[in-house]
Amino acid sequence: MEGTQRRLAAIVFADVVGFSRLMAEDEAGTLAALRAHRNVTDPVLLNHGGRIVKTTGDGMLIEFPSASAAVQAAIEVQEVMRERSAQLPEGRRMQFRIGINLAEVVDAGGDIFGDGVNVAARVEAVADAGGIAMTNAVREAIRGKSDLELVDTGTHQLKNIPDPVRLWKVGARPVEASTKVDARRRLIGVVAVLPFDNMSGDADQDYFADGITDDLITALSYTPYLGVVARNSTFAYRGSTKDVRTIARELDATHVVEGSVRKAGERVRVTAQLIDAETGHHVWAERFDRRLGYIFELQDELVDSIAARLRPAVWDAAGDRSAGRDTRSVDAWDLYLQGMHEYNTHTVDGFVRSIDAFERARQLDGRFVAPLVGLATSWMLLALNGWRHEGLDPWKNAFEAVDAAWAADNHDYGAVVILAASCPIRGDFELGIRMARRGIEMNPQGFIGHHMLGANFNAAGRPGDAIEPLTDAWRLGRHEPIRYNIANDLAWAHYMLGSHDASLAWGRRAVEINPHYLQSHLVLAATCGQLGRIDEAQPHVDVVLRARPHFSVTRYRTRIIYAGDDNKDHIVAGLLMAGLPA
């Protein structure tokens, strides 16, 4: 059969217990809950080198490079699901059944076939709710490599499988489950602020409604013990007709805020409502009418009202926590909103236009920290996208804006995380780690703090410490345009650890999101080189050389930010083995 290949693989099949009943009771809610769970469990599979071959409703077929990787991933997935179930109302709890087999498969265009796949599907049906079952082939492959307690269940005549199959079930865990405290458990709730509707009848005022939403997200994120879903995750639902309860389940939120903005001349009207995600009932609703000059007081009152309905005891005055909005200049604030509108296009042209608006805001109020953070971020993204302009150095401009933001307000969340983001390039990894941790303390639900912690651990030559925060960033930043960079950092972390199958999995995910990011092609080329898969490396080598015809591994080595000659040598070796020119 043309385009097919045979190989030995560990095959995992998983599905949801009682899925048909759950769908009959609440179809939209069940699908949303499954998507939310997979946002957490999929990274576990990728971290062990798993490849999600396909999904079928509630079922998933996953291929792993080894039986050990498959079993460890299955155990971690079930542990995660137990932790999540403990935090959810009984009606929203969901359990997986997992079956594992080790056999030869036929790969045809990315899909896999063979008797071994059919056996894995039948083994899954034998597993207990929340449990794992495996064939004797898997048990033999992990013998002596694991302290798992395995229970022999004897031979089973599986449906449509001619020969009896001996099966084992996973018993008690050999070690205590992770004692890591999930930041979410300390939270009184997680709020998703949906994009406010522009009711002005003028599309040019969209930026203003978006700005009100952005400011509300930022201010709420400074409320103690309150988690706030990231901006790009909620803006993905602009114009959606989905029920707010479904949206909340997909975002793992306990409450949803929605509203509208009408701006006419010097008058502004904002309506807002806070909705309980479980019941769909309104907890609070209010309408605010103000003159534009009093817009900041309106925002403070809006944030105060929402926080007060969640838990008054933990709320300090909103005006003291509205990070980045420490200006009394309405014109500077309006220019900042325009800059963010351009920035959120996530295009090179948009970044250039955002810089112009942020600079004009800075000229009106040099102590207004938000546009300074915007400047730094825009310049950094231009640098990472390879933007060049005669006489301008994007990194130099980025670092100048970072330092200006820090000088303006070193207690601002944006200033803290943008300083952390600059540290790998500057080589001050320990400062970056401290700032990233501080950012996570300030906003546990913010993906950027976790991302920067992982990035600085990577750069400091501590890839083992980078995996967990980067995985958290991937989970929290599910709709972030820069998510490919998180996957890329995970690929490099696994590469430096020698976990080449996991590096391949994350590198492929990064390229799926952004096929033009050269770092992802470099990590895939290096990984394939290390694995001896030169044919598989060649397309990535071609992409690099088309974009950089004069690329040389020697020159690239001087630009590698990861500390330690061993790390640099490991990267260089993989690139040379892949066929990139020395």
Angle between helical axes of 463-476 and 483-497 (0-180°, round to 10): 160
| pLDDT tens-digit series, residues 275-311 | 988 888 888 888 888 888 888 888 778 777 776 676 5
Choice among 47-56, 114-123, 167-176 with the minimum mean pLDDT: 167-176
DSSP string, 59-107: EEEEEESSHHHHHHHHHHHHHHHHHHHHHS-GGG---EEEEEEEEEEEE
Per-chain mean pLDDT for the chain = 88
- pLDDT of 125 above 60: yes
Other beta carbons within 10 angstroms of residue 241's beta carbon come to 5
Classify 5 as helix, strand or coil: strand
Angstrom distance (rounded) from CA 48 to CA 567: 21
Highest mean pLDDT: which range of 141-155, 356-370, 386-400: 356-370
Choice among 136-140, 247-251, 522-526 with the minimum mean pLDDT: 247-251
Tell me what pLDDT residue 307 has. 66
AA letter at 130? G
| pLDDT tens-digit series, residues 143-168 | 888 778 899 999 999 888 888 999 99
Choice among 24-28, 163-167, 527-531 with the minimum mean pLDDT: 24-28
C-alpha count within 13 angstroms, C-beta hemisphere, residue 382 = 26
- pLDDT of 429 above 80: yes
| pLDDT tens-digit series, residues 192-235 | 999 999 998 888 889 888 988 988 888 788 776 778 898 889 99
The residue that leads in pLDDT, 5 or 535, is 535
Other beta carbons within 10 angstroms of residue 187's beta carbon come to 18
Tell me what pLDDT residue 456 has. 97
Are the C-beta atoms of residues 522 and 542 closer than 8 Å to each other? Answer: no
